[in-house]
A = this chain, B = another copy of it.
Amino acid sequence: MVHNNMTRTITAQTLADLWARLKAKAPRVHCITNSVVQNLTANTLLAVGAVPSMSTDAHEIDDFSRSAHALLVNLGTLDAERRHAIATAIPLIREAGQSWVLDPVMIDRAAHRLAYARDLLALSPSIIRANQAEADALGAHHTVLAVSGVEDRVETAQGRILLAHGHAYGSMITGGGCALSAIMAALAAVTDNPVLAAATGFAAYGIAQDIAARDAEGPGSFAVRLLDELANLSPERLAYDLSMRIEDQP
């Protein structure tokens, strides 16, 4: 649910404060995500100071969901077990008043996955993190939408926030977007403002990319440095480097 004052509170300082809070709180983030990116997602969460878990087993999903502070639902490599885990975990997270983030990976490539993503909208994700093609396929909804692109964008009913960070190497790392969605879930665990969580996620991930790209010699060394810079990024540096523009709805 997007509150009226959500974009009003967004400043470089509130982003930096949320980044600091993430490192102080070390929230548990349960990830139902695809097998291709589980490793990078877990390492990214550890780098930013969160505690990842990844089980999708029917015997365990209850316990992991109940003890998590936020949930990530990523639709890559969907299977029967993951569908069951998603159906179990989301209601538990919502009952506990926690946030969940939807990453509708490649819904523009498979009709069945698209229909499934649309059904999940009824369960009120706090943030949808997608690329433009996925966002277009998903269609209209009332959730905070975080669209990755050359310019990153957070869209809400009140307006939009634009962030100008990141490097072309970012799209040459598989699971980069998935890892970013996990960061947003971790941030959503320590604020009740999903717009702020989405903007801070874009800022931190984008600025870490800016720094990582400087000495990278290709996508391999870029990916390694990106984890380093996510771990090293201070709230002060985040605020100092931030390039963000807020456009209120007219």
Chain B residues near A79 (CB-CB < 8 A): 56-57, 81
Q: Are B228 and A174 in contact (CB under 8 A)?
A: no
Chain B residues near A112 (CB-CB < 8 A): 59-60, 63
| CB closest chain-B residue, reference A172 | B46
Q: Which of B67, B171, B173, B220 contacts A225 (CB 8 A)?
A: B220
A217 touches B (CB below 8 Å): yes
| CB closest chain-B residue, reference A60 | B110
As for how many copies of this chain the complex holds, the number is: 3
Q: Which of B52, B174, B226, B231 contacts A46 (CB 8 A)?
A: B174
Residue interface bits A189-217, CB-to-B below 8 A is 1, else 0: 00000000000000000000000000011
Q: Which of B36, B77, B220 contacts A57 (CB 8 A)?
A: B77
A224 touches B (CB below 8 Å): yes
Q: Are A228 and B221 in contact (CB under 8 A)?
A: yes
Binds B, one of A13-21, A37-45, A134-142, A148-156: A37-45
Q: Are A59 and B78 in contact (CB under 8 A)?
A: yes
Q: Which of B54, B109, B219, B232 contacts A231 (CB 8 A)?
A: B219
A145 touches B (CB below 8 Å): no
Chain B residues near A217 (CB-CB < 8 A): 225, 228, 232
CB within 8 Å for A47 and B223 given contacts A55-B76, A106-B53: no
Residues of chain A having any CB pair with chain B under 8 Å? 34-40, 42-43, 46-47, 52-57, 59-60, 63-64, 67, 76-79, 81, 106, 109-113, 171-175, 216-221, 223-232
Which 5 A-B pairs give the minimum distances between C-beta atoms?
Answer: A218-B228, A220-B227, A42-B174, A63-B110, A59-B112
Given contacts A59-B112, A59-B113, A221-B224, 4 further A-B contacts (CB under 8 A): A60-B113, A217-B225, A218-B230, A220-B228
